[in-house]
Amino acid sequence: MMNEIERAAECLRAGKLVAFPTETVYGLGADALNAQAVAGIYAAKGRPADHPLIVHGADGDTLLRLARRVPAPAWVLIERFWPGPLTLVLSRAASVSDAVTGGQGTVALRVPDHPLALALLAEFGGPLVAPSANRFGRISPTTAEHVQEELGSAVDFILDGGPCQVGVESAIVDLSGDAPRLLRPGGVPREAIEALLGRSLAGPAQGGPRAPGALSAHYAPVTPLHLLTRAEIHTQVREAMAAGRKVAVLAPAAPDIIGPGCRWLEPPADPAAYARVLYAWLRALDRSGVSAILVQPPPRSPCWEAVRDRLTRAARGSKDIPMTASMTP
């Protein structure tokens, strides 16, 4: 009898879409060399056709064939961080289709660090494109149930690996130009990459490649999410309670104002632990019937960069105008 991995690989060979767990978030996988299957991903996600996809492989050998050139810093990062939550953007080989790269001259590559993802990639035997398995602009899924809720029948097979351990997407480093750039903060902290390269990472280039994760509004709940100071949270909670509206609060320290209309959640004090629960919490709050999610952002220190980035984009992407001047990042 075929096991789950074999069945999933067979689906992929037939050009179907398979959601699978990675250490960061669940991906929606398709055969990177099958243009029709890749087109299916864009349709399932509702994603604009010119937004490029990350190609996943079981190892560096599979992936680096897709690059025209592998510069020295790439080897250093690969040696240390693959498999792991780091995506590298390199000049693409001629064999990589426009469907994958959104017509750009570069390709994004990653070896995920999850036993089921690696088993699937090995069984399939080739590269898979895998964006996060959510609808375009929405919160990435960190459990198989989230994928089911989010994509339903648009996905042909879901491999269930339980909750993702990292919880936010991979860091994306662009090594295709003169200076290394951090296009998206993520699972590997900026500091770890900079320490290894012995130089600081520039930000995304102005007018650079389109990267949905880099759009200012992304990873968004439907419920308005506001980034506020503690004092502003107090005011808003009181106002909401007086008006009979329910709100949720994500802020550290003991809940000091609480009542029937206020749900106070204290997020973990450690950045990795916060990242692990962030999307699941936003998803749960989105369905809880609250009128707003009020968040006290974590500190500005570098170890919080990925969590702050996702909260900021979630705020911009949610229905309302979310930021107060005092919290502009």
Helices (H), the chain: 4-13, 35-45, 60-64, 72-81, 98-101, 115-124, 144-151, 190-197, 230-242, 271-286, 305-317
Taken in order 234, 240, 243, 244, the sign of the CA dihedral is: negative
**Residue (101 or 132) nearer to Mg ion, CB:** 132
∠ Cα 321 322 328 (to 5°) = 115
**Residue (57 or 290) nearer to ligand TXA, CB:** 57
Joined together, the tokens standing for residue 70 give 């592998």
Give me the 72-91 binding string for ligand TXA, x by CB under 6 A, dash otherwise.
-------------x-x-x--
**Residue (169 or 286) nearer to ligand TXA, CB:** 169
| Binds 318: which of Mg ion, ligand TXA, none (CB < 5-8 Å by kind) | none
**Residue (92 or 184) nearer to Mg ion, CB:** 184
| Binds 83: which of Mg ion, ligand TXA, none (CB < 5-8 Å by kind) | none
**Residue (169 or 309) nearer to ligand TXA, CB:** 169
Joined together, the tokens standing for residue 117 give 């993802």
**205 vs 183: CA distance, rounded Å:** 8
**Interface positions, 154-193, toward ligand TXA (CB under 6 A):** 169-170, 172, 183-184
**Residue (132 or 223) nearer to Mg ion, CB:** 132
Q: Which of 57, 127, 131, 167 lies at the binding interface for ligand TXA (CB under 6 A)?
A: 131
**Residue (83 or 131) nearer to Mg ion, CB:** 131
Residue labelled with tokens 């389109």: 210
CA atoms within 13 A on the CB side of 14: 11
Asked if residue 43 lies in contact with residue 131, where contact means CB atoms within 8 angstroms, the answer is no
Please list, residue by residue across 169-183, b when 16 or more beta carbons sit within 10 angstroms of its beta carbon and e when fewer do: bbbbbbbbeeebbbb
Residue 311 binds ligand TXA (CB under 6 A): no
Q: Which of 108, 151, 225, 290 lies at the binding interface for ligand TXA (CB under 6 A)?
A: 108
Residue type, 23: E
∠ Cα 154 125 62 (to 5°) = 110
Residue labelled with tokens 């100071």: 229
Q: Which residues contact 231 (CB under 8 A, 6 or more apart)?
A: none
Residue 118 binds ligand TXA (CB under 6 A): no
* Binding window for ligand TXA (CB under 6 A); candidates: 67-75, 130-138, 195-203, 224-232: 130-138
Give me the 203-242 binding string for ligand TXA, x by CB under 6 A, dash otherwise.
------x-xxxx----------------------------
* Binding window for ligand TXA (CB under 6 A); candidates: 126-134, 237-245, 251-259, 303-311: 126-134
Residue 51 binds ligand TXA (CB under 6 A): yes
Q: What three-state secondary structure class fits 292?
A: strand
**Residue (209 or 322) nearer to ligand TXA, CB:** 209
* Binding window for ligand TXA (CB under 6 A); candidates: 129-137, 150-158, 225-233, 234-242: 129-137
* Least distance to Mg ion, CB of residue 76, Å: 27
CA separation, residue 305 to residues 59, 114, 263 (Å): 28, 23, 26
Q: Give the residues lining the site for Mg ion (CB under 5 A).
A: 132
Joined together, the tokens standing for residue 29 give 């996988």
| Binds 322: which of Mg ion, ligand TXA, none (CB < 5-8 Å by kind) | none
- Interface residue list for ligand TXA (CB under 6 A): 22, 24-25, 27, 51-54, 85, 87, 89, 101, 104, 106-108, 110, 112, 130-132, 169-170, 172, 183-184, 209, 211-214
